[in-house]
Amino acid sequence: MPLPDTMFCAQQIHIPPELPDILKQFTKAAIRTQPADVLQWSAGYFSALSRGDPLPVKDRLELPVVTQKTDTGLTQGLLKVLHKQCNHLRFIELVDLEQKWRTLCLPMEKLHALLVLDPCEDKVEWLKFLALGCSMLGGSLESAMKNICEILSTEPEGGPARIPFTTFSYLYRYLAGLDADILEADTESYLSDLQKKVECRQDMIGLSDFFVAKRKM
């Protein structure tokens, strides 16, 4: 239906004072995040903004990951976005996870492929799902743990990315337990050796620690 041919003068048009800043922040967020479907992502962005929820926005623009074997659409930056939205929860309902996944324009078949690795009915433990997502980014347990540390660490980007050893060991055991080729005895031996290296630093582990300690096979 065509718009009525009505003339307006500048005095008749009221522009909310906050609108320019909202549009500026939205534009910057879209450029950083580079959503595959701008309309779908925009709907999720403004919905989260209206509720005061964490926005589906990357911290920075990501360059293509040349080491990723297959293009799953998932990146560390997108997992960071999901973590900002879900880290206050121990468990997240699958319906909510699916909605956040769609907002980031990620393929639903990739979400289902992750959930098949550790089937659940209506909700999933968030940290375990994050670990599964990190395992999809690389091809090894070590690369998955590297991504986990970089996402969970509260230290400045580019630093040692330390996280509590209890969290590291919990997620390491979880991912190792899903790999039939990794013996439980090897996992426990590796974590025991690793803990000795970090207990003098209040049990905080960083990237340099677990890459130096080679997993026994």
pLDDT at 6 over 90: no
Residue of higher predicted confidence among 119 and 71: 119
| pLDDT at residue number 210 | 64
Q: Where are the domains of the chain?
A: 63-212
Burial of residue 121 (CB within 10 Å: 0-12, 13-18, 19+) is: exposed
Q: What are the CB-based long-range contacts (under 8 Å, 24+) for 213-216?
A: 215/141, 215/142, 215/186, 215/187, 215/190, 216/186, 216/189, 216/190
Query: How far apart, in whole angstroms, are the C-alpha atoms of residue 211 and residue 143?
Result: 10
Q: How would residue 66 be classed by pLDDT, with cut points 50, 70 and 90?
A: very low
Q: How would residue 124 be classed by pLDDT, with cut points 50, 70 and 90?
A: very high
Contact 58, 77 (CB under 8 A): yes
What average pLDDT does this structure show over 88-108?
A: 96
pLDDT digits (tens, 9 = 90+) for 148-198: 999 999 888 878 899 999 999 999 999 999 999 999 999 999 999 888 877
| pLDDT at residue number 215 | 46
pLDDT at 138 over 90: no
Nearest by Cα to 55 from 65, 69, 45: 45
User: Which amino acid makes up residue 170?
Assistant: Y
Q: How would residue 216 be classed by pLDDT, with cut points 50, 70 and 90?
A: very low
Q: How would residue 78 be classed by pLDDT, with cut points 50, 70 and 90?
A: very high
